[in-house]
Structure 1
Amino acid sequence: MISMFDSDVVSAELLADIVSVSKATLLKWEKSGRLIPSQNSITHRKEYKVSQLIQFEEVRNMINSNWDQELNVKPAKDFSSVELFAGAGGLALGLEKAGFNAVALNELDEDACKTLQGNHSQWNVIQGDVKNVDFAKFIDVDLVSGGFPCQAFSYAGEKLGFEDTRGTLFFEFSRAVKEIRPKVFLGENVRGLLNHDNGKTLSVIKSIISDLGYTLIEPKVLKALFYRVPQKRERLFFVGIRNDLVKFAKFQWPSPYYRILVLKDALKAGELYATDVPKSEGQSYPNRKREILSYIPQGGYWRDLPDDLQREYMQGSYFLSGGKTGMARRLSWDEPSLTLTCSPAQKQTERCHPEETRPLTIREYARIQTFPDEWHFSGSVSSQYKQIGNAVPVNLAYAVGRSIIALLNSIDAEVDLGSDSLAFNGSFHSRQLTLLNT
């Protein structure tokens, strides 16, 4: 049981990430006796024995994971997909690895399209505004996927339906589903969509999905760090099943991997990659900023600076409330990376290398997002950072993709079984075909 982790202890920082609580909450649990901490004699950081962490569902799920069994999930037949808002291909790569054949990928950004085409010349990349794409030509594709950007909708959408979301990118995603009529769709978004506009945006989305004739699995936030991604990124996923197929469908969200990967797993040779991260281009800090950040220890941030440097660096923000823990942040080898942003050198969202005082490079960024080293990005350095920072981590997409493949396998198996049995009863067979075509 304990051998599923790297050691018999877990750091306080990592436990907080696993169970999604603050260190202040961990401290309360210590005071109540729920947790008994120890101190690492070398790093002097607080740790907890794994044996006392079985109380947490997240830890039990890792220990009892079906990850290895789910790796054996393969498509029972060729399954096709169409993807919107494809970006640099993180979601598409993961879905392809799971077994999907992408018949079309739409993306507006020219550099991202060059990235997709340059790495995967056989992909049908449709560059341009999604509003101008005719999706009817892809009718009966098995899966429509995409990370539609979140925009506020008219509240009337709950009453007026699909047309009331016109002008939003969710409308275009919905239009693709309406025109293609896939068996299943997969949407993804930021965690904040759950409570966007006090939950009204999500309410409209659910209403529209129902109007389209799909049953929505309750949306779920998946933490990338549970799926062989050395990063704290969280994404909200939607899975919808066409109503006539729901009774045949069996769906389970992917099981977590049985250990948490950290930054050294991304940048050093080991389980994820056979070699250390290749050299590549990257942004740099101005001289004074580099001097100040050189005082930050691994895993530290602006609060670890001397007070005079805190004031100089933070300026007016020094007096504001809130932790602002992303500012002047140096990553740690022994923790998952903070969520990657579109720029590792920006003052609000620094992602400083754990040892060298510099921003993460392009290839370091790509590895933290679990892109293969041979996947190259087109455009300027800033454009490449943006493409990588906006991507769905490949390994997360692969895990979700396996769950979708298993879902489609279950639908096809039950439909085929029903067809075989119905051959013995013509009248029943006729009624069933009528149902399946509604």
Structure 2
Amino acid sequence: MNEQREDLVTASAAAVELGVSVDTVRRWSKLGLIKDTRDARNRRLFSRAELERLHRKLSGEAESQYRVLESGELFDDATCIDLFAGAGGTALGFHNAGLRHVYLNEIDRDAAATLKQNSETHGLGWNIDNRDVCEVDFTDMQAEVIQAGFPCQAFSYAGKSRGFEDTRGTLFFEFARAIRDVRPKVAIGENVRGLVKHDGGRTLATMLETLDQLGYRVRYRVLRSQYLDVPQKRERLIIFAVRRDLDIPFIFPRERDYVITLREALRDCPASPGQEYPEKKRRVMEQVPPGGYWRDLPEAVQKEYMGGSYYLSGGRTGMARRLSWDEPSLTLTCAPAQKQTERCHPEETRPLTVREYARIQTFPDDWEFCGSMAHQYKQIGNAVPVNLGYHVGRCVLAALGYVPVDDGMDVILPEPGE
């Protein structure tokens, strides 16, 4: 423990050692490029080794840390069902971790075609069902794990606490129904972090009560992708449920000390189609510096471009937003040229291309997407980053005893009598 503390330095000490200003170290922290901790005097402390690594990275001296994570092993008995599979971000991440899929369901035609094409191309052998999940009979299915990135409709349960009954008519109910019928050892739910506070927390509480009624112990955690080998500031809520009759711990990925920048992610990115700006918008966007947004424009241009939004409160930081080479990307949306959520290339005045989108979501370069360009952007923007799925998948395998627990995992043992 003392050795670990000795590797921590204050912002002032780090600045002296690296030959940069204290403001630079603080800016790195504010941008999320480096994590800090607090000492007994409430001072921010930083890892000396990670600061040195970040300095080398931003100076162009360090090799890229970007890669699609793969374990190279597949456990035949670690079977998995994937619902609302989309373009396969979680499924591929789980597969790369070592789980074997026995069934995937996805209602969107183009996303299902993406799954089928890549299953054939990569020899995954996935059983892909394009039906509405409401029509699926799970009673004869068997799997150790069920995973679902269920869409969260805006429903309210204020004053109710009927658990399973409360969720009828929602897609979470279909996830719960599959759990009830299959009885997997572990169930993993994934959603946006906003679910934690939706309807004052009552929506999530109802979901947890539902899983409890089905006989599962539950924990949840919001994971920050930028600290889990994803070049993107994307937060996802992960619900980890374990069948109550089993002595299985909850295990979540532990955040790493490093981030992967956009420069690393897009290095040697293959060319691909992409949206383009109309000429009028292009003239506006070319005035925005890397990492900047509408506030960096001349005031007259701000007012013309923003229109009525100029007079609203709030940061509106997604408008006229150009990404930065030296940071992870902002969260990808379903379209990179939407006015409220711009994702402009850090150097060229254009939206990110389809392949650049896929790189940022850590899909491999040979993962092909079906449908129109707009549908490809949508599939990628809605996906769980592959590397995030990998880390969650390795934790599931560790909980089930297929792989050893390592120092990249946080183990939470069940409470007595739980």
* CA distance in structure 2 between the aligned counterparts of 1:75 and 1:374, rounded to whole angstroms: 20
Shift of 1:49: 7.1
Q: Deviations over 1:370-422 (max 9, x none)?
A: 00000000000000000000000000110111000000117999xxxxxxxxx
Shift of 1:203: 1.1
- Cross-structure match for 1:222: 223
One-letter amino acid of the structure 2 residue matched with residue 199 of structure 1 = G
- Cross-structure match for 2:232: 231
* Count of residues in Structure 1 that have an aligned counterpart in Structure 2: 364
State the Cα RMSD in Å.
3.1
Does the CA-based 8 Å contact 1:157-1:164 persist in structure 2?
no
- Cross-structure match for 1:380: 372
Q: Does 1:319 align with 2:294?
A: no
Shift of 1:153: 4.1
- Cross-structure match for 1:365: 357
- Cross-structure match for 2:393: 401
- 1:202-281 equivalences in 2 (<5 Å): 202-217=204-219, 219-245=220-246, 248-268=247-267, 276-281=268-273
Shift of 1:71: 8.7
- Cross-structure match for 1:86: 85
Q: Does 1:18 align with 2:32?
A: yes
- Secondary structure, aligned partner of 1:120: helix
Q: Deviations over 1:151-193 (max 9, x none)?
A: 2445279533313311100000100100110000000000000
- Cross-structure match for 1:197: 199
Q: Does 1:391 align with 2:401?
A: no
Q: Would you tell me which structure has more helix in proportion to its own residues?
A: 1
Shift of 1:146: 1.0
Does the CA-based 8 Å contact 1:73-1:405 persist in structure 2?
no
Q: Which has the larger radius of gyration?
A: 1
Does the CA-based 8 Å contact 2:89-2:385 persist in structure 1?
yes
Q: Which 5+ residue runs of structure 2 have no aligned equivalent?
A: 1-6, 9-13, 52-68, 406-418
Query: Residues 17 and 236 from structure 1, CA distance in 2 versus in 1: closer, same or farther, beyond 3 angstroms?
Result: farther
Does the CA-based 8 Å contact 2:80-2:146 persist in structure 1?
yes
One-letter amino acid of the structure 2 residue matched with residue 384 of structure 1 = Q
* CA distance in structure 1 between the aligned counterparts of 2:244 and 2:362, rounded to whole angstroms: 35
* CA distance in structure 2 between the aligned counterparts of 1:286 and 1:11, rounded to whole angstroms: 38
* CA distance in structure 1 between the aligned counterparts of 2:339 and 2:396, rounded to whole angstroms: 39
- Secondary structure, aligned partner of 1:389: helix
Query: Residues 387 and 299 from structure 1, CA distance in 2 versus in 1: closer, same or farther, beyond 3 angstroms?
Result: same
Q: Does 1:135 align with 2:138?
A: yes
Does the CA-based 8 Å contact 1:158-1:203 persist in structure 2?
no
* CA distance in structure 2 between the aligned counterparts of 1:76 and 1:88, rounded to whole angstroms: 23
* CA distance in structure 2 between the aligned counterparts of 1:18 and 1:299, rounded to whole angstroms: 13
Query: When the two structures are superposed, what TM-score results if normalisation uses the length of structure 2?
Result: 0.81
Shift of 1:250: 2.6
Q: Which 5+ residue runs of structure 1 have no aligned equivalent?
A: 22-28, 36-47, 55-69, 269-275, 414-438
- Secondary structure, aligned partner of 1:18: coil
Does the CA-based 8 Å contact 2:87-2:115 persist in structure 1?
yes
Query: When the two structures are superposed, what TM-score results if normalisation uses the length of structure 1?
Result: 0.77
Shift of 1:104: 0.5
Query: Residues 386 and 204 from structure 1, CA distance in 2 versus in 1: closer, same or farther, beyond 3 angstroms?
Result: same
Shift of 1:77: 6.1
* CA distance in structure 1 between the aligned counterparts of 2:360 and 2:144, rounded to whole angstroms: 30
- Percent identity for Structure 1 against Structure 2: 53
- Cross-structure match for 2:54: none
- Cross-structure match for 1:59: none
- 1:298-317 equivalences in 2 (<5 Å): 298-317=290-309
Does the CA-based 8 Å contact 1:302-1:310 persist in structure 2?
yes
Q: Deviations over 1:337-372 (max 9, x none)?
A: 000000001100110001100000000000000000
